[in-house]
């Protein structure tokens, strides 16, 4: 299950954030899809956890939106993680109509339990 943190600049419209909230579960699932965890296009509650946070005046980022994705490390994801991050960045940029987007894809060795 990927965990997605979205940091956005002040002034980003609520409708833009709603668009992003609808887009991210599917696009992130595509970005982390692999033989060990195939994406069946049938997302269930808890499959992708997305959190939004408005950037504070102390955050120095110059980007409108930063998307950080954390998903467990498996070799097939790690081999092409840069291409996966770039595809997700393009999808988010296209949906939002801005090139001012950053995507950080991390693949830590981790465990997940859900009940």
- For the stretch 79-113, pLDDT in tens is 999 999 999 999 999 999 889 999 999 998 777 77
Q: What count of other Cβ atoms lies within 10 Å of the Cβ of residue 111? A: 5
Quote the pTM value.
0.90
State residue 93's pLDDT score. 95
Listed by start position, the domains of the chain span 1-52+80-97
Could you give the CA distance from residue 53 to residue 3 in angstroms, rounded to a whole number?
Answer: 14
pLDDT digits (tens, 9 = 90+) for 49-80: 999 999 988 888 789 999 999 999 999 999 99
Q: Is 102:66 a contact under the CB 8 Å cutoff? A: yes
């Amino acid at each position: 299950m990927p965990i997605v943190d979205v940091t956005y600049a002040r002034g980003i419209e609520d409708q833009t954030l709603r668009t992003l909230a609808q887009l991210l579960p599917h696009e992130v699932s595509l970005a982390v899809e692999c033989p060990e965890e195939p994406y069946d296009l049938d997302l269930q509650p808890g499959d992708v956890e997305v959190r939004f946070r408005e950037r504070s005046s102390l955050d120095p980022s110059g980007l409108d939106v930063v998307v950080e994705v954390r998903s467990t490390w498996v070799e097939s994801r790690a081999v092409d993680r840069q291409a996966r991050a770039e595809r997700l960045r393009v999808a988010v940029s296209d949906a939002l109509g801005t090139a001012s987007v950053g995507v950080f894809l991390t693949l830590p060795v981790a465990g997940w339990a859900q009940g």
